[in-house]
Structures are given as structure tokens and as C-alpha cells.
Copies of this chain bind each other. A is one copy, B any other.
Amino acid sequence: MEHGDMRRHHLSLVLEALLADGASSRAALAQRVGLTKATMSTLVADLLGRGLVTEGSARRDGQVGRPGVIVEPRGTSLGALGLEIRVDEVAACLVDLTGEVRFSSRRRVDNERSRPTTVANRLVAVAEEVLGEAAGADVRCVGGAVAVPGLVDPDTRALVAAPNLSWPEVLLSRVDDRLGLSLAIENEANLAALAELRHGAGTDLRSFVSVTAGGGVGGGVVLERTLVRGHHGFAAEIGHLVVDPGGPACSCGASGCLEAVIGRDGDAPAEVVVDALASALRSIAHVFDPQAVVLGGTLAGLGDGDVADLEAVLVERTLGGRWHPTQVRRSPLGRDAALIGGATLTLDRLITDPTILPPLDSTKEPMS
């Protein structure tokens, strides 16, 4: 730790406060973040210099005293790219700092029977389409992430195990080069959880687990508002919790996994789905003790009655349920969840450390 870390952390707090609770004056910000007005002045000046915030008009609300100058996040002029490769489609979207999906594109293709380079070309194509629109609207893209259905080693950026999809690890660097961006790669369910955390059903939660069905049953675990990736990046594979040891065989080598029982798209009969989910959610509640479970993908289509049944199970058939019941929520994000999560991952890095954006050089050249 050094001095700069403190600065970075405070810049991050200020930016986050502005994005989360809206624009406000320096004085109000100082109070919200817990710093003095003097420090806040310098922090805001720094963010202004990096183009991350703008000064708006002075407050005009009839309050007594000198009106504060409103500091606004420049949320709409900075964004990140979310990309997605699935067995039957490629997609791209650009999300700005406010969390709004500004541009998006999705194409049905047959990636399963295509060569990896073809898949890469398709990905570049949708990405360039979205980036073009973004450039036209003066939105600067600071990076992006690719969502893939399978296990990912986040450090080497290798796709380790993906059913029906081959993606040699060198390809990503070539996509990077062609787009002129640095892309991360991450499991789609993990990214979906990140999207829930920032823009979906988890914005008010500190800890939750998301379960998504659609081309596989994936999970994402968020504890203390941080995504849990596991030691090798393989955590949160909720689809392989055992719900019926005598059930159908699963691709993972065992039998009776949640995914094998309810189908890769969660398209088994509703009764089967709810029963299997109930068992899996009980296990989740016992091992993670989250505030809520968020159902995404096709599972977001469950009816109120089914959700109530699941919540009842979590109250009656878990140890802690009677004292602190676990909520069951449905995702509002639809099928773009992973895509939004990919952009969110990148934007989060910017929010965590605003200094990765260099200060715009606003020094006027002195006349010699």
C-alpha cells in the first residue's frame, strides 16, 4: 500500500456515489463519502480532469445559502462492450456508465458446426457493428468482455471446457487486435450474476446467488457484492448440484445433476423443474446463506405460485430459514444478462480505479 492507493480508493468512492445516487454538489458528496469539503474539491477536480464528471448548473431549489454546483457523472459518453458466443448465436452490446444498453446486435448462427476462425469473424462483425454506432454517438468504449458457456481460466483467458464449442485460446488476442480493445473472457453465468448485481435484481443486495437456465444451467455467486470465482475460476457451477442421485446421466460424469434433471434450457415439465430447483436452492441456502436467490434465463418465467412454493421450502426446510428466510426473485434482465454483465465487468474496473483513464491534458500551451 502506498499513498496513491488512498487517492485511488477515494476517487472510486466518489465516482460510485455519483453513479449510484445521482449528481450532487461537492459539499453533499463530501458528507456522503465521509470526507472533508476540501478533499472533495481536489477529488472532483481530478475526476473533471479525467473527463469522468462534468459541472452542471448551480442548484436552484430555494434553499437558503449559497447554492452548490452540481457535479454530474459523464455516464453517457463512456461505455464498454459486452460480447457473447453461444452455440447458436453471437451477440454484442454497448453499455454506458449509467448502466443503459445503448446499442446491441444479435445474430443466429451455427457455431457448433463452424470452424473457430469463422466464429471469431462473426464475433468481430457484431462487435464492429455496435462499435460503429457507438462512435457515431460519441460514446467512447473503454474495453469489453466475452461471455462463453463453459469453464474459463480468467488469468490465461483460456476456455477450458465448453460443450459443443471449440475456442482456441489464441483467437481472443486476434479479436483484440482487430477491434483495438482489450477483452476479458468469463463464464456467461458469472457475468449474468454481475449484471444482476449492478443493474438487475441484486442492486439492493449484498449477497445473492443467481441461477440461469438457457443452453445449460449456470450459476453465479455474489458475496459482499463481490463475484466469487473460485480458486481456478470454476466456482458456482450450480447446474451440477446433485438433486437426484438416481436421475439421468450428466455431461460432467455423474448423474442426477440439476442440469440433467431439468434440461439444459430448464424446459422439463414445470413440476419437475420446481422440485429439482427446490432441492438445489436448499443446498445453496445452506452453504452460501445468501439474502436472495435470483432466477434468470428461462427460469425467470416461473409463475408466482412456483416462486412462492420455492420460498416456502427455503423457510420450512432449511436450518436458518425460520430466522432469516432467503428470498426468491426473478431476473428483470432477460436474455441480455450475460452481455450486460460483460460490459459491467469492464466498467467496474474503471469505477474501482478511475486513474486507469489518463487525465486529459488541459494545460494551455504557454506563449514563449
Which A residues are closer than 8 A to B by beta carbons?
Answer: 1, 3, 5-6, 9-10, 151, 153, 160-161, 206-207, 219, 221, 223, 228-238, 240-245, 252-254, 279, 282-284, 286-291, 316-324
Q: List 11 A-B contacts (CB under 8 A).
A: A160-B323, A207-B230, A231-B289, A232-B289, A234-B286, A235-B288, A237-B289, A238-B287, A240-B283, A253-B317, A287-B287
Assembly CA distance A238 to B289 (angstroms) = 11
A324 to chain B, nearest CB (A): 4
* Cβ contact of A319, chosen from B161, B228, B290, B324, cutoff 8 A: B161
A319 touching B252, Cβ below 8 Å = yes
* Cβ contact of A287, chosen from B231, B241, B322, cutoff 8 A: B241
> What is the copy number of this chain in the assembly?
2
A282 to chain B, nearest CB (A): 6
A232 touching B320, Cβ below 8 Å = yes
A230 touching B161, Cβ below 8 Å = no
* Cβ contact of A235, chosen from B219, B279, B289, cutoff 8 A: B289
A323 touching B151, Cβ below 8 Å = yes
* Cβ contact of A254, chosen from B235, B284, B317, cutoff 8 A: B317
A282 touching B242, Cβ below 8 Å = yes
A240 touching B318, Cβ below 8 Å = yes
A232 touching B317, Cβ below 8 Å = no
Assembly CA distance A53 to B223 (angstroms) = 36
A240 touching B288, Cβ below 8 Å = no
A249 to chain B, nearest CB (A): 11
B287 touching A221, Cβ below 8 Å = yes
Assembly CA distance A286 to B323 (angstroms) = 28
